[in-house]
C-alpha cells in the first residue's frame, strides 16, 4: 500500500505573476475598447459637422441661384409690362392685329432667350389668358391664371404661385411669377406672367451636383410654400405630389443651430439631416436634406470594423486568460504529478517484489530483462543477469516473443495483450498465460513492457485430457470416428487442391461375432486392443489409424500410391494373422482380418466417397474367402461380372 500524500500548492509568487498578467491584460483591453469608442464617437461628430456645413453651403448656393432666376423673370416681365403700357391700348381686346403680332413676337423672343422661362403670357384684368409665347397661336377659353392676390391697389408688385400641371394641362408644373400692369388709376388693367418649370430647377440642381455640391445619392432639395404648408418643389420627386400638404413629422434638433434638424422623411422613410432657409421674402422655405446612411457610411464602416476588432480582442483576451489559468493549474498539476510519480515508482517496486505471479520489467527495443521479482526466479530458476539477459530466451518458440512485441507496438501504451505460451522453465517446458502491459512514456509510445506469467500447466493438462477423451477411442486408444473424419476431411482437401495421392484402408475382423459369442465381450475387447496394437506397429507416423465402431477399423494413408497402399494393407493383414493370438483367461484367441483398399480419384467428391469404395472392396475380400486384401477396382469388376451372369 502507498502512503497518503497531498500535493503541495504551487509557489505563491507564481500565482501572483499570473494574477498580475490577468489584470494587465484586462486593463489593456478596457483601454483599447474605451479609446475605440471615443474615436468612433468623435468620428461621427466630425462627419455630422462636415455635412451640416455642406448643407448650409448648398442651401445658400441654391437660394442665390433660384433668386437670380426669379430676378431675371421679374426683369423680363417689367420689360413686357413697359411694352404693354407704351404700345397697346388700355383695352387689350381692341388691340390691332399688328399690335398683337408684335406683342407675341416679343413674348416668344424673350422666352426663347431665357432657358429658365418655359413660357411668357399676358392675361386680362380677370386672369383670362390672352397671349402666350412659344408660338402658341391659339389660346383656349379656359386658360386662366390666379390673380386674386394682385387685384388691390396695395397688392404686392409680384406674386409667386405653384402650378401643379397634370395630365390634362398643356403647361408643365412649376412656379408662376405674375406682375400686374397698372393703369393711371393704379388698378391693374393686365397681367404679365412667366412659368418657370420644375425641369429648369432640376437642371440647375444637377449642374450644382456636377460642380461638387453633391450630398449623396439620397439627398433632397425641396421648396415648401409657407401658406398652407404645401409642397412647391422636390428633387427627386419620389412619392411627393406638387401642391399637396407636407405631412407633419416630428423633428430632432441638431445642436444649437435652429436651421438644422433630424427627421424621418415621409416620402422615402429615410432619416435625413435637414437645413432650411426662407426664400422669396419668406413666402417659401428652401429645404436641403442629406440622408444619414450616406454621410455616415464611413462611420458605419468604422463602427463595424471597431466592433469586429473589439470582439476579436475580447475573444483573444478570453482565450489568453483561459491559457493563463490553465498554466497555473498545470503548474500545480505538474508538481503534484512529479510527487505522485515518485510514490508510484516506489509502490511499483514493492508490488513487483511481493506479487504472487512472476513479473519482469523488459526493454522493448532489444528485449533486455531489466528486473524481476522473486516469483520469476522460482519459475525460471534464475534472475535477470548473466544467465537470463533477454526475454526471448524465456519462450520455447522465439517467434512468440516477436509477436508479442509487434502487438505491443500496435496497441500503444493504453492497451495490453495476453496469450497462452510454452516457457523454458527451470523444470522443463511449462505452459503459462503471459500478459504484456506497455508502460507509458513521454511520447505515448511503448518503450518498456511489464510481463506477467501465470502458470497454467495444470489447466493445460486437464484440457489435453478432455481433448483425448473427445477424440480417442477409450478401448483401443486409437482415434475415434469424430477425430478420423475431422482430420480426413482436411487431408482430402489438401490432396485434392495439390493433386497428391491419397489412399484409404477399411479393416474388418473375420468372425468377430463368433469370438463374442464363444468367449464373451471381454474377450472381444482384448481382440480389439490386440488389433489396434498391430495397426500402430504397421503404419507410418503420418498415417492415421482409427476405430470407426465395433470391429471396423480404418487407416488413412496420405501421399500413398496404390502399390504402396496394397503393400501396407498386406503388411497389416500378415501382422494381425501372424502375431501371437490374443489371450483371455488363459485362452488363446487367433484372429484374422479382411482389408479393402481405395484410392482418391479426380472425380471423388469427398472422403465419404473413398470410404464407400473401400467398404465395397472390404465386402469383396470377405466374399472371396476372408483374410485377404481387395481393391476398389477388383470389387467393381466382380460386381460387373455378377450382373452379367444374371
Same domain, 148 and 100: yes
Whole-prediction pTM value? 0.45
Residues 122-158 pLDDT 10s: 888 888 888 787 645 566 666 788 888 787 767 777 8
Instruction: Tell me the per-residue pLDDT of 224-234, one tens digit each, with 9 for 90 and over.
Output: 888 888 888 88
Indicate whether 365 and 494 sit together in one domain: no
Q: Which residue has the higher pLDDT, 204 or 446?
A: 204
Would 547 be classed as within a structural domain? yes
The whole-number pLDDT of residue 348 equals 65
Is pLDDT of 290 > 70?
yes
Q: Which residue shows C-alpha cell 406682375?
A: 179
* Across 13-34, average pLDDT: 74
Q: Let me know if residue 437 belongs to a domain.
A: yes
Q: Does residue 446 sit in the same domain as residue 570? A: no
Cell numbers 404700345 label which residue? 87
pLDDT at 446: 62
pLDDT tens readout for residues 350-390: 776 777 788 888 888 888 888 888 888 888 878 888 778 88
Residue 153: its pLDDT value, please? 67
If asked whether residues 425 and 571 sit together in one domain, one would say: no
Does residue 544 lie within any of the structural domains?
A: yes
C-alpha–C-alpha distance, residues 103 and 13, integer Å? 106
pLDDT digits (tens, 9 = 90+) for 303-353: 888 888 888 878 887 887 777 777 777 777 777 878 877 787 777 667 767
Domain boundary among 257, 273, 294: 294
291-302 pLDDT, tens digit each: 888 888 888 888
CATH code of the domain in which 498 resides:
3.30.70.270
Count the neighbouring beta carbons within 10 Å of the beta carbon of residue 515: 23
Rounded Cα–Cα distance for residues 625 and 614 (Å): 17
* pLDDT of 185: 76
Residue 474, SS3?
A: coil
- Distance from chain centroid for Cα 78: 82
Structural domain including 612 reads 471-642
**What pLDDT sits at residue 442?**
63
The DSSP 8-state label assigned to residue 10 in this structure reads P
**Chain centre distance of CA 38:** 41
Is the pLDDT reported for residue 502 higher than 90? yes
| pLDDT more than 90, % of the chain | 20
Q: What is the mean pLDDT of the chain?
A: 81
Say whether pLDDT at 79 is over 60. yes
CATH number for the domain that contains residue 445: 3.30.450.20
Same domain for 123 and 258? yes
Instruction: Check whether residue 450 and residue 476 sit in a common domain.
Output: no
The more confident residue out of 114 and 253 is 253
Higher-pLDDT residue of 131 and 278 is 278
In a domain, 552, yes or no: yes
Per-residue confidence band for 176, with pLDDT thresholds at 50, 70 and 90: confident
pLDDT digits (tens, 9 = 90+) for 403-445: 888 877 775 545 567 788 888 887 778 888 888 888 776 665 6
- In a domain? residue 22: no
Same domain, 72 and 149: yes
Query: Which of 460, 492, 521 is at the close of a domain?
Result: 460
Residue with cell 411694352: 83
Higher pLDDT residue, 264 or 557?
Answer: 557
3-state secondary structure 85-134: HHHCCCCHHHCCHHHHHHHHHHHHHHHHCCCCCCEEEEEECCCEEEEECC
- Stretch 633-642: mean pLDDT, rounded? 55
**477 and 438, same structural domain?**
no
Q: Report the domain count for the chain.
A: 3
The answer to whether residue 642 scores a pLDDT higher than 50 is: yes
Per the listing, cell 516477436 goes with 402
Q: For residue 250, tell me if it sits in a domain.
A: yes
Q: What is the pLDDT of residue 387?
A: 77
**What is the β-pairing status of strands 230-235 and 582-584?**
unpaired
The predicted-structure confidence for 615-636, as pLDDT tens digits, reads as follows 999 999 999 999 999 997 665 5
Alpha-helix runs per DSSP H in 499-554: 512-519, 521-538
- How far is the C-alpha of 416 from the C-alpha of 325, rounded, in Å? 36
Residue 283 has pLDDT above 70, yes or no: yes
Mean pLDDT of the 282-287 span: 84
Query: Other CB atoms closer than 10 Å to residue 442's CB: what's the count?
Result: 6
The predicted pLDDT at position 631 comes to 94
Query: Could you tell me the three cell numbers for 177?
Result: 411669377
Decide which of 253, 278, 294 is a domain's last residue: 294
Same domain, 455 and 481: no
Residue 456 and residue 600 in one domain: no
pLDDT at 444: 58
105 falls within a domain: yes
34 falls within a domain: no
Pair 438, 576 in one domain: no
- Do 611 and 530 touch, CB atoms closer than 8 A? no
The pLDDT value recorded for residue 645 is: 47
Answer yes or no: is pLDDT of 212 > 70: no
Q: Which three cell numbers stand for residue 118?
A: 418655359
pLDDT at 640 over 60: no
Q: How far apart are CA 524 and CA 517, in angstroms?
A: 9
Whether residues 366 and 234 fall in one domain: no
Range with lowest mean pLDDT among 264-273, 479-488, 496-505: 264-273
Question: Looking at residues 532-538, what average pLDDT do you find?
Answer: 93
Active-site positions read 551
pLDDT at 610: 94
Amino acid at each position: 500500500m502507498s502512503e497518503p500524500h497531498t500535493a503541495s500548492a504551487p509557489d505563491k509568487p507564481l500565482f501572483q505573476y499570473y494574477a498580475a498578467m490577468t489584470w494587465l491584460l484586462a486593463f489593456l483591453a478596457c483601454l483599447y475598447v474605451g479609446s475605440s469608442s471615443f474615436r468612433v464617437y468623435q468620428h461621427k461628430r466630425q462627419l455630422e459637422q462636415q455635412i451640416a456645413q455642406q448643407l448650409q453651403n448648398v442651401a445658400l448656393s441654391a437660394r442665390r441661384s433660384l433668386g437670380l432666376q426669379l430676378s431675371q423673370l421679374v426683369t423680363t416681365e417689367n420689360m413686357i409690362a413697359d411694352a404693354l403700357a407704351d404700345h397697346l391700348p388700355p383695352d387689350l381686346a381692341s388691340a390691332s392685329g399688328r399690335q398683337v403680332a408684335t406683342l407675341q413676337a416679343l413674348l416668344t423672343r424673350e422666352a426663347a432667350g431665357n432657358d429658365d422661362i418655359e413660357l411668357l403670357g399676358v392675361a386680362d384684368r380677370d386672369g383670362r389668358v390672352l397671349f402666350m409665347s412659344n408660338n402658341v397661336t391659339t389660346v383656349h377659353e379656359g386658360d386662366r391664371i390666379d390673380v386674386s392676390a394682385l387685384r388691390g391697389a396695395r397688392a404686392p408688385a409680384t406674386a409667386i404661385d405653384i402650378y401643379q400641371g397634370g395630365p390634362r394641362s398643356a403647361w408643365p408644373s412649376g412656379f408662376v411669377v405674375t406682375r400686374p400692369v397698372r393703369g393711371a388709376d393704379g388698378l391693374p388693367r393686365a397681367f404679365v406672367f412667366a412659368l418657370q418649370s420644375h425641369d429648369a430647377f432640376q437642371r440647375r440642381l444637377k449642374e450644382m451636383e456636377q460642380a461638387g455640391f453633391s450630398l449623396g445619392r439620397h439627398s433632397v432639395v425641396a421648396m415648401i410654400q409657407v401658406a398652407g404648408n404645401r409642397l412647391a418643389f422636390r428633387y427627386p420627386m419620389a412619392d411627393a405630389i406638387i401642391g399637396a400638404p407636407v405631412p407633419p413629422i416630428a423633428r430632432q434638433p441638431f445642436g444649437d443651430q435652429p436651421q438644422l434638424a433630424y427627421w424621418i422623411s415621409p416620402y422615402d422613410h429615410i432619416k435625413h439631416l435637414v437645413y432650411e432657409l426662407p426664400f422669396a421674402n419668406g413666402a417659401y422655405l428652401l429645404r436641403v436634406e442629406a440622408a444619414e446612411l450616406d454621410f455616415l457610411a464611413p462611420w458605419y464602416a468604422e463602427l463595424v470594423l471597431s466592433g469586429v476588432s473589439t470582439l476579436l480582442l475580447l475573444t483573444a483576451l478570453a482565450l489568453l486568460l483561459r491559457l493563463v489559468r490553465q498554466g497555473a493549474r498545470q503548474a500545480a498539476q505538474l508538481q503534484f504529478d512529479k510527487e505522485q510519480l515518485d510514490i508510484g515508482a516506489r509502490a511499483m517496486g514493492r508490488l513487483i517484489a511481493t506479487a504472487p505471479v512472476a513479473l519482469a520489467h523488459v526493454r522493448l527495443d532489444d528485449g533486455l530483462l531489466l528486473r524481476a521479482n522473486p516469483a520469476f526466479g522460482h519459475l525460471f530458476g534464475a534472475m535477470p543477469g548473466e544467465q537470463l539477459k533477454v526475454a526471448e530466451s524465456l519462450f520455447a518458440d522465439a517467434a512468440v516473443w516477436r509477436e508479442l512485441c509487434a502487438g505491443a507496438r500496435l496497441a500503444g501504451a493504453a492497451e495490453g495483450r495476453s496469450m497462452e505460451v510454452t516457457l523454458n522453465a527451470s523444470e522443463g517446458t511449462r505452459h503459462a498465460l503471459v500478459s504484456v502491459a506497455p508502460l507509458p512514456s513521454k511520447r505515448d509510445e511503448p518503450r518498456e513492457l511489464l510481463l506477467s506469467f501465470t502458470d497454467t500447466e495444470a489447466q493445460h493438462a486437464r484440457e489435453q485430457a478432455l481433448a483425448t477423451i473427445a477424440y480417442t477411442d477409450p478401448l483401443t486408444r486409437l482415434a475415434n470416428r469424430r477425430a478420423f473424419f475431422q482430420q480426413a476431411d482436411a487431408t482430402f482437401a489438401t490432396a485434392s487442391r495439390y493433386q497428391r495421392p491419397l489412399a484409404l484402408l477399411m479393416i474388418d475382423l473375420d468372425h468377430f461375432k463368433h469370438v463374442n459369442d464363444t468367449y464373451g465381450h471381454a474377450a472381444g475387447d482384448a481382440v480389439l486392443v490386440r488389433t489396434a496394437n498391430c495397426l500402430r506397429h504397421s503404419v507410418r507416423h503420418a498415417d492415421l489409424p482409427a476405430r470407426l465402431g465395433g470391429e471396423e477399423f480404418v487407416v488413412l494413408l496420405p501421399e500413398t500410391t496404390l502399390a504402396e497402399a496394397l503393400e501396407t494393407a498386406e503388411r497389416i493383414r500378415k501382422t494381425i494373422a501372424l502375431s501371437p493370438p490374443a489371450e483371455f483367461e488363459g485362452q488363446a484367441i487367433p484372429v484374422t482380418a479382411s482389408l479393402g483398399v481405395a484410392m482418391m480419384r479426380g472425380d471423388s467428391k469427398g472422403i465419404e466417397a473413398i470410404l464407400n469404395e473401400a467398404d465395397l472392396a472390404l465386402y469383396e475380400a470377405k466374399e472371396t474367402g476372408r483374410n485377404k486384401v481387395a481393391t476398389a477396382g477388383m470389387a467393381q469388376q466382380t460386381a460387373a461380372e455378377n450382373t452379367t451372369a444374371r
